[in-house]
Amino acid sequence: MPQSYSSQSMTNNVDAATFKFSVVNEAIFSCTVLQEAFKRYEPLIFGRRPETLYFHSQARRNVGVSGDIDELVVQLGKPCNDVDAPSLQSDESYKLTVQNGQAMLSANELWGVIRGLETFSQIVYQSPTGGMVVNNTVISDFPRFNHRGVMLDTSRHYVSKKTILKNLDAMTQNKYNVFHWHIVDDPSFPYQSANFPELSQKGAYDPETHVYTQSDIQEIIEYARLRGIRVVPEFDSPGHTQSWGKGRPDLLTKCYSGSSPNGQFGPVDPSNNATFTFLKQFFMEVGNAFPDKYIHLGGDEVSFACWQSNPDVQAFVKRMGYSDYSQVEQYYMQQLLDIVGGLGKGYQIWQEVIDNGAKVQADTVVEVWKAGWEDEMNKVTKLGYKTLLATCWYLNYISYGSDWTKYYGCEPYNFPGTEDQKKLIQGGETCMWGEYVDDTNLMSRLWPRASAVAERLWSAQSVSNVQEATPRFIEHRCRMVGRGFPAEPINGPGFCREEYIVD
């Protein structure tokens, strides 16, 4: 639901055979992002199936209308160029006016045009007589939150590049703007490092077929950029790093039973100075591969048991004068944060890093994921940090029935904080952890349930009524099905006029 939306019953014909996009200032037409957007949205507006693309002109004269629209005029306030990339500060606002045979889309920045084109594609529809029409409509729109993310875990199960690209298309349709790529974890290391190839050679499920090459990564980043989506990679440590140790066994802490190693490995070993030499080189590469300002550094769920058993870490604790092993984690994270900050990058972290007392940069983004998020959001924002909410939106959990309503009911501002604290809430993320998810079911498990989260993050806080949202949600699910996404039924029996076609 847009921030401001008014629509009249009068309609305008839109003929696929003559329709075109035009620009007020021809200088902006050379911008690749705009050119590619225009190419994408023409078939999206008029139907994805080739056999239905140009049938409209025969029927359109049968519709009583106020005018014929043969172009959408795009006006951009700020010039664009081929190196533009979305950021946390991007302006995605736009105004869309359709009135008596004329259609105008204006935006301050390129990213507002992308969002406005998506809205225009959703308000053009097939009339009962068969032609494509759009009502006289005035929309003034902008997102409530600047960070609207989808997190995918590609370690527990490998997700193909094809599925990742398809999901980016679905994200664009739902106005998401951040792909949080939890690319590696304990089970596998599919990131193919240019400088440390042994990490994926020994850590991936298959070093030939189940990896993301540097070329794959650049293709995904560019595909996302053209859709106004940032790619924020996550390399979680010091825990969740078992796959790292297969290629670099000296990186992890050796666990002991009594006085002897037991063959098990724990978190990254912070007592070894070589650890941080490697991490600096590795994150320098990551920073170059992923151009976004932010890298997600994880920092969650660190078990201290292995550290406590290791004589080298025990000696390190004594040497540092620590009284608790949480201080070891704090030391590790502080070193890593300093490394990444020194590379000119900002970072996102899971809440445990703050909970354990690490000092972080002023522009750090803290992601809250545990139960009791209301108190945690209050705590983190009191400290002055930008904050994301994820707790409510773990869509890997499934249940029978219309479970989208519980996701829709979560409100990021519902915590005991001041207005200044709430201004630090950057948005939120829906998370799809991969224990039971791969190419076979990722899209249908994520969509359209993630659409419920998308509206809570985009639309006004007052747009929260489930009964009012339900018919729009049903329509939007069918819209996604019509575009070729296997978005599952979420409201019981029904049908879509254009049902899903298996590719």
Provide the annotated active-site residues. Answer: 301
**Residue closest to 468 by CA, chosen among 414, 408, 399:** 408
d(CA 473, CA 99): 26
d(CA 231, CA 181): 7
Please give the single-letter amino acid code of residue 71: E
Report the DSSP beta bridge partners of residue 135. 11
- DSSP β-ladder status, 94-99 and 132-141: antiparallel
**Residue closest to 135 by CA, chosen among 144, 145, 123:** 123
Residue with the two structure tokens 């951009």: 76
d(CA 452, CA 88): 22
Contact 37, 226 (CB under 8 A): yes
d(CA 81, CA 72): 21
Contact 173, 483 (CB under 8 A): yes
Burial tier of 304 (Cβ tally within 10 Å: 0-12, 13-18, 19+):
middle
Around Cβ 154, how many Cβ atoms within 10 Å?
24
For 318-343, give one letter per residue: b (16+ CB within 10 A) or e: eeeeeeebeebbbbbbbbbbebbeee
Beta strands in 307-384 (DSSP E): 346-350, 365-368
Query: In the Cβ-directed half-sphere of 155, how many Cα atoms lie within 13 Å?
Result: 24
Hey, is 457 helix, strand or coil?
helix
| Per-residue tokens: 116 | 């406005």
**Residue closest to 349 by CA, chosen among 360, 357, 338:** 360
Report the DSSP beta bridge partners of residue 125. 133
**Three-class SS of 367-428:** EECCCCHHHHHHHHHHCCCEEEECHHHECCCCCCCCCHHHHHCCCCCCCCCCHHHHCCEEEE
| Per-residue tokens: 503 | 């590719």
- DSSP β-ladder status, 102-107 and 132-141: unpaired
